[in-house]
């Protein structure tokens, strides 16, 4: 067995035991690309399942031999009697005499006692609360996503201007939406993305450019945003990024793309505000603009999170 | 019966069980499912202990019993699922970093398991018990060393040797 196989096997064994750190777990996807890894993984997992089968055969024999009763599923665990952790200890009931461990909390409450929920009920309750929180968050997100049509209508009069790629596919008030929709359907998004972004930069009217970018957010075009993120991540500082960009590249847009990712759903709703920001930012030096924008967007990012 | 598993022991075993089983049926059972099954297993064991009026097992044996009951319940639950919910083939590859669940009844895995079972049954009983204790019950080499009065390193070598043997006999063509 070579060293590669050995290292794969060690990794797989640790992975199957759940003994890896999150960083190490993340490596799994990369290893999975290798057919050798997949073979080893399949065999290793199969050997665990086979071992379980053997163990279960033994188990069935022992159940039969000892008369162990697998049907005794009712009841609860005696943690109130043996709990070692302070917070798990049940307080004394208000009346004399201890409650039976099996006594249901609902029954106890109906008799006027107040007893703490046992862990089983507590876990159910926490799942229910989490579910409620998730549903509320989903509804709020949905509401945020769907509150934009009126805002779109307010800026539609700005649309007749366009350039390059956008001009070819749009000729009415839904031009940007259609462009975005076509982009989404394009089979080779990777190839088309740089062109689209260049075309968006070419739009002379910054309001339209902003609107198109907002549409990209709205259309969940995270693919393009990720492209920007990747480009941004290559540079250590904002200055080095700026130096590497063509003269006509709008750095503000780049930063907005980066920071507005979280605000994607509400980008159109904040259209007027963004324009105000731009007007303000264009009146200062670039460095100040960047700092101001970062501060502002960071704050929003924080609040929306 | 006042010397049953402490809550701390219960948690440690539960976490071990969940971590282990989550890798076998990763997309079918959630952590909550597995925790519920484990709790049910301990209740069954506890009720049997109460019936007998004493703590039935300790140490390795206790863990083997509880894990055995847990797997038994899990299998029943898994077999009760609709076929479409049970599993997707292994080559479905990754789903958010997770591997498609294992389906012992409906894939080439079944063939591998059958071969492995045959090979495992043919092992000397003590070797097989040690291998099964490590793989299926997740019993540490240290614990096993005490039980079998052998060194932990010696047991590790034994399990690795069985592993290599199984892989070899499974067919060299499968592994490059």
Span A238-292, pLDDT tens digits:
455 445 544 444 444 544 444 444 333 333 333 344 444 445 445 555 456 556 6
A52 at B interface, C-beta within 8 A: yes
Q: A103 to each of A90, A99, A117, B129, B153, how far by Cα in Å? A: 13, 7, 11, 41, 49
Q: What is the pLDDT of residues A4-37, one digit of tens each?
A: 888 888 888 888 877 777 788 778 878 888 888 8
Across the range A203-218, mean pLDDT stands at 50
- Closest residue in A to B173 (Cα–Cα): A39
Note the pLDDT of residue B41: 92
Nearest-Cα distance to chain B for A64, in Å, is 13
Point out the residue among A5, A46, A78 whose CB comes nearest to the CB of B4: A78
Three-state DSSP class for A289? helix
Average pLDDT value for residue range A133-143: 74
> Is the pLDDT higher at A120 or at A89?
A120
Q: Do A25 and B44 touch (CB under 8 A)?
A: no
Pair type for strands B94-95 and B98-99: antiparallel
* pLDDT of A89 over the 50 cut: no
Task: Choose among A26, A51, A69: nearest Cβ to B136.
Answer: A51
* Each residue's pLDDT tens digit, A175-195: 445 455 545 555 544 444 455
Helices B125-135 and B152-169: crossing angle, nearest 10°?
A: 100
Which among B12, B31, B167 is the top mutation candidate for probing chain A, defined by the most A β-carbons within 10 Å of its own β-carbon?
Answer: B167
Instruction: Give CA–CA dist B54/B2, Å, rounded.
Output: 9
Contact status of A50 with chain B (Cβ, < 8 Å): yes
Rg of chain A's alpha carbons, rounded to an integer?
Answer: 30
Res A150 pLDDT > 70: no
Smallest Cβ–Cβ distance between A77 and the set B46, B121, B135 belongs to B46
Whether the pTM exceeds 0.80: the reply is: no
* Closest CB to B93 among A9, A32, A48: A32
Contact B20 A16 (CB under 8 A): yes
What percent of chain A is predicted at pLDDT more than 70? 32
Grouping H, G, I as helix, E, B as strand and the rest as coil, residue A236 is coil
B160 vs B115: CA distance, rounded Å: 18
Relative orientation angle of helices B31-52 and B59-79, to the nearest 10 degrees? 130
What integer pLDDT is reported at residue A12 of this predicted model? Answer: 85
Phi, psi values for residue A99, rounded to 5°: -80, 145
Which among B97, B116, B170 has the least Cβ separation from residue A29?
B97
- What is the nearest CA distance from A278 to chain B, expressed in angstroms? 38
- Side-chain half-sphere of B75: how many Cα atoms within 13 Å? 12
Residues 111-130 of A with CB under 8 A from B: 120, 123, 127
| CA–CA min distance A45, chain B (Å) | 7
Comparing A52-56, A169-173, A247-251, which segment has the lowest mean pLDDT?
A: A169-173
Model pLDDT, residue A248: 45
CB A102: neighbour CB atoms within 10 A? 11
Does the CB of A98 have a partner CB in chain B at under 8 Å? no
User: Within an 8 Å CB–CB cutoff, is residue A246 touching chain B?
Assistant: no
**B21: which residues sit within 8 A by CB, 6+ positions away?**
B29, B34, B70, B71, B74
Higher pLDDT, A208 or B61: B61
The length of chain A in residues reads: 305
pLDDT band at B69 (very low <50, low <70, confident <90, very high): very high
Q: Which two tokens stand for residue B155?
A: 């047991």
Report chain A's mean pLDDT, rounded to a whole number.
Answer: 58
Confidence of residue B130 (pLDDT cuts 50, 70, 90): very high
The percentage of residues in chain B with a pLDDT greater than 70, rounded to a whole number, is: 78
Query: End-to-end distance of chain A based on CA atoms, in angstroms?
Result: 50
Write the DSSP assignment of A113-149 as a string of letters.
---PPPHHHHHHHHHHHHHHHHHHHHHHHHHHHTS-H
Q: What average pLDDT score do residues B125-148 get?
A: 89
Q: In this complex, how many residue pairs, one in chain A and one in chain B, have their CB atoms less than 8 Å apart?
A: 158
CB atoms within 10 A of CB B1: 14
Chain A residue at shortest CA distance from B37: A73
Closest CA–CA distance from residue A66 to any residue of chain B (Å): 11
- pLDDT of residue B170 exceeding 90, the answer is no
Q: How does DSSP assign chain B, residue by residue?
A: ---S--HHHHHHHHHHHHHHHHTTSTTTS-HHHHHHHHHHHHHHHHHHHHHHTS----HHHHHHHHHHHHHHHHHHHHHTS-HHHH---GGG-EETTEEPPP-TTSSHHHHHHHHHHHHHHTS-HHHHHHHHHHHTS---HHHHHHHHTS-HHHHHHHHHHHHHHHHHHT-TTT--
Whether A70 shows a pLDDT value over 70: the answer reads yes
Q: Is the pLDDT of residue A220 over 70?
A: no
Nearest CA in chain B to A79: B7
Average pLDDT over residues A157-163: 29
More confident residue, B39 or A199: B39
A91 C-beta neighbours (distance < 10 Å), count? 9
CA atoms within 13 A on the CB side of A223: 16
The per-residue pLDDT for A166 is 36
Average pLDDT over residues B94-121: 65
Judging contacts by C-beta atoms under 8 Å, the chain A residues touching residue B156 are none
User: What is the full DSSP assignment across A24-71?
Assistant: HHHTHHHHHTSHHHHHHHHHHHHHHHHHHHHHHHHHHHHHHHHT--TT
Distance CA B158, CA B164 (A): 10
Mean residue pLDDT across chain B: 79
- Give the nearest partner residue to A47 out of B99, B163, B174, using CB atoms: B163
């Amino acid at each position: 067995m070579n060293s590669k196989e050995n290292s794969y096997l060690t990794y797989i064994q640790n992975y199957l035991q759940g003994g890896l750190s999150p960083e190490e777990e993340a490596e799994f996807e990369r290893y999975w690309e290798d057919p050798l890894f997949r073979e080893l993984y399949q065999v290793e997992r199969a050997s665990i399942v086979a071992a379980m089968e053997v163990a279960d055969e033994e188990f069935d024999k022992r159940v039969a031999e000892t008369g162990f009763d697998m049907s005794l599923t009712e009841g609860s665990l005696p943690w109130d009697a043996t709990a070692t952790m302070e917070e798990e200890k049940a307080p004394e009931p208000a009346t004399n005499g201890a409650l039976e461990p099996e006594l249901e909390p609902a029954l106890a409450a109906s008799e006027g006692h107040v007893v703490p929920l046992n862990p089983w009920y507590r876990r159910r309750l926490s799942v229910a609360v989490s579910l409620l929180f998730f549903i509320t968050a989903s509804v709020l997100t949905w509401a945020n996503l769907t509150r934009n049509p009126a805002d779109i209508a307010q800026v539609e009069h700005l649309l007749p201007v366009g350039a390059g790629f956008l001009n070819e596919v749009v000729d009415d008030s839904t031009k940007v939406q259609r462009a975005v929709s076509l982009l989404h359907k394009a089979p080779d998004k990777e190839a088309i993305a740089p062109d689209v972004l260049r075309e968006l930069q070419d739009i002379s009217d910054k309001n339209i450019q902003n609107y198109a970018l907002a549409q990209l957010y709205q259309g969940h075009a995270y693919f393009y945003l990720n492209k920007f993120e990747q480009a941004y991540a290559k540079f250590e500082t904002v200055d080095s990024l700026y130096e590497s960009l063509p003269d006509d590249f709008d750095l503000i847009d780049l930063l907005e793309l980066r920071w507005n990712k979280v605000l994607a759903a509400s980008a159109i709703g904040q259209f007027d505000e963004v324009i105000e920001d731009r007007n303000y930012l264009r009146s200062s030096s670039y460095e100040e603009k960047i700092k101001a924008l970062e501060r502002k967007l960071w704050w929003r990012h924080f609040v929306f999170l | 019966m006042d010397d049953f598993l402490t809550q701390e022991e219960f948690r440690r075993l539960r976490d071990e069980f969940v971590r282990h089983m989550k890798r076998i049926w990763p997309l079918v059972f959630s952590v909550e499912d597995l925790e519920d099954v484990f709790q049910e297993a301990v209740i069954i064991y506890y009720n049997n202990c109460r019936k007998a009026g004493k703590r039935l097992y300790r140490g390795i044996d206790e863990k083997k019993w509880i894990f055995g009951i847990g797997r038994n319940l899990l299998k029943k639950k898994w077999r009760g699922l609709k076929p479409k919910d049970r599993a997707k083939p292994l080559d479905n590859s990754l789903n958010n970093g997770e591997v498609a669940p294992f389906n012992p009844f409906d894939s080439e895995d079944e063939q591998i398991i059958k071969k492995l079972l045959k090979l495992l049954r043919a092992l000397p009983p003590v070797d097989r018990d040690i291998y099964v204790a490590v793989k299926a019950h997740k019993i540490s080499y240290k614990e096993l060393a005490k039980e079998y009065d052998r060194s932990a390193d010696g047991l590790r070598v034994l399990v690795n040797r069985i592993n290599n043997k199984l892989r070899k006999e499974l067919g060299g063509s499968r592994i490059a």
